[in-house]
């Protein structure tokens, strides 16, 4: 008997020859195959760009959002937003471990968070119990399949599971910040008051040291006030991230013409690529963690203005990313308290 593909290609229905993330339709049948995990799902943490798009399309009506999410999953066999192409992640309890799964230490009843996108995860929804419009979390009754290659984290006992899920959903971002930012850097974080932005700001503060500088960009006054209260930025810009020239002028002014060494883009809206590019010095780094990023706009836009910047597309997986992010919640009492207020 052949072993199922560890990347899940055996679940692809259409088109054949692609992996589950690129597939239009996958098989979500909740039957655990030889090297899979079967999970009873409790909560879906929809990716921010996707949740924002669904919320806007449904006029912020929870019932319409429920219907749209159910229709997406029913049609595709997975929760992949057809507009943003992004997914999210889930938390649930292991129901069955395939006999050929690489980690036989996993046991039935363990609670885990999947650290791979819902855009490739076979999912069956029996019922959407509730939708939280404030934190992108959808409580459901359903089942999911995690492939043998799928990354996961066992929910720690010292943190509320919803708080852990919220943090783990974006754990690739602060882990990349840890690798990209160095002593003395000026770091611009576009979308600094969001979930991933706050975690990135905290990590960046640790990396740049006393000689470095963190600049947070937000578009609402309450977000500006939050950043001031948390003390995670040395400077805060209140501006529209889709207005590239305005952002550039603000950053140029506050850095005396030097611009940012590293720019971290974690917003959930379109058309912020050029703000990121223009605000970064030549030979600097732009890290696009946002799932609303257009590679075409970023690449051709940088070429069009003659900017020599290294652009990195956010990889949701980075070595030790889960541990790095959960440790931030443990280390920072202000962030710990804020995450419990928002997500617990």
Ordered by start, the domain boundaries in the chain are 9-155, 172-338
Query: So what's the architecture of 172-338 in CATH?
Result: 3-Layer(aba) Sandwich (3.40)
Question: What is the average pLDDT across 173-196?
Answer: 96
CA neighbor of 209 nearest in space, from 233, 183, 188: 183
> What mean pLDDT, rounded, does the chain reach?
94
Alpha-carbon Rg for the chain in angstroms: 20
pLDDT at res. 1: 43
Task: Give me 5's structure tokens.
Answer: 């593909």
Alpha helix (H) ranges present in the chain? 48-57, 62-76, 161-168, 172-180, 195-208, 221-230, 244-254, 273-278, 295-304, 321-331, 333-343
pLDDT at res. 2: 59
Q: 35 in helix, strand or coil?
A: coil
Question: What is the average pLDDT across 251-279?
Answer: 96
- Read off the pTM: 0.84
Question: What is the average pLDDT across 211-228?
Answer: 96
**Cα(154)–Cα(161) distance, integer angstroms:** 10
- pLDDT tens by residue, 80-117: 999 999 999 999 999 999 999 999 999 999 999 999 99
- pLDDT tens by residue, 294-344: 999 999 999 999 999 999 998 777 888 999 999 999 999 999 999 999 988
**Cα(137)–Cα(168) distance, integer angstroms:** 13
Q: 332 in helix, strand or coil?
A: coil
**Cα(328)–Cα(85) distance, integer angstroms:** 29
Q: 164 in helix, strand or coil?
A: helix
**Cα(159)–Cα(241) distance, integer angstroms:** 33
DSSP 8-class letter at 18 = S
Please name the residues in contact with 2: beta carbons below 8 A apart, sequence gap of 6 or more: none
Q: Would you say the C-alpha torsion 13, 17, 23, 26 has a positive or negative sign? A: positive
- pLDDT tens by residue, 22-32: 999 999 999 99
Does residue 260 register a pLDDT over 70? Answer: yes
Phi, psi for residue 294 in degrees, rounded to 5: -105, 120
Q: How confident is the model at residue 197 (pLDDT cuts 50, 70, 90)?
A: very high
- pLDDT tens by residue, 203-216: 999 999 999 999 99
CA neighbor of 287 nearest in space, from 183, 209, 170, 184: 170
Does residue 199 register a pLDDT over 60? Answer: yes
**Cα(305)–Cα(159) distance, integer angstroms:** 46
Contact indicator for 261, 282 with CB cutoff of 8 Å: no
- pLDDT tens by residue, 125-157: 999 999 999 888 999 999 999 999 999 999 999
Task: Give me 58's structure tokens.
Answer: 């449904």
pLDDT at res. 71: 97
pLDDT at res. 113: 92
């Amino acid at each position: 008997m052949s072993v199922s593909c560890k990347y899940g290609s055996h679940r692809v229905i259409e088109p054949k020859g692609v992996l589950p993330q690129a597939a239009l339709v996958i098989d979500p049948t909740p039957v655990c195959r030889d090297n899979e995990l079967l999970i009873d799902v409790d909560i879906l943490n929809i990716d921010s760009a996707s949740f924002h798009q669904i919320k806007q399309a449904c006029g912020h009506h929870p019932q319409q959002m429920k219907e749209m999410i159910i229709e997406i999953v029913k049609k595709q066999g997975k929760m992949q937003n057809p507009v943003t192409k992004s997914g999210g992640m889930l938390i649930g309890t292991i129901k069955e471990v395939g006999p050929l799964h690489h980690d036989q230490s996993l046991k039935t009843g363990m609670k885990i968070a999947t650290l791979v996108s819902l855009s490739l995860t076979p999912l069956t929804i029996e019922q959407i119990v509730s939708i939280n419009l404030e934190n992108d979390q959808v409580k459901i009754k359903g089942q999911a399949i995690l492939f043998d290659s799928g990354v996961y984290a066992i929910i720690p006992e010292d943190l509320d599971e919803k708080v852990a899920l919220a943090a783990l959903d974006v754990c690739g971002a602060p882990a990349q910040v840890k690798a990209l930012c160095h002593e003395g850097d000026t770091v611009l974080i576009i979308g600094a008051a969001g979930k991933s932005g706050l975690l990135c700001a905290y990590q960046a503060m640790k990396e740049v040291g006393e000689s470095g500088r963190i600049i947070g960009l937000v578009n609402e006054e309450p977000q500006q006030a939050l950043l001031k209260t948390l003390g995670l930025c040395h400077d805060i810009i209140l501006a529209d991230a889709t207005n590239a020239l305005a952002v550039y002028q603000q950053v140029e002014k506050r850095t005396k013409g030097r611009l940012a060494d590293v720019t971290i883009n974690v917003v959930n809206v379109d058309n912020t690529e050029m703000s990121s590019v223009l605000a970064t010095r030549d030979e600097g780094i732009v890290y696009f963690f946002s799932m609303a990023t257009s590679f075409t706009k970023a690449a051709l836009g940088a070429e069009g203005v003659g900017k020599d910047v290294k652009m990195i597309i956010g990889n949701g997986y980075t070595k030790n990313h889960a541990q790095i992010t959960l440790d931030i919640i443990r280390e920072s009492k202000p962030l710990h308290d804020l995450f419990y207020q928002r997500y617990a």
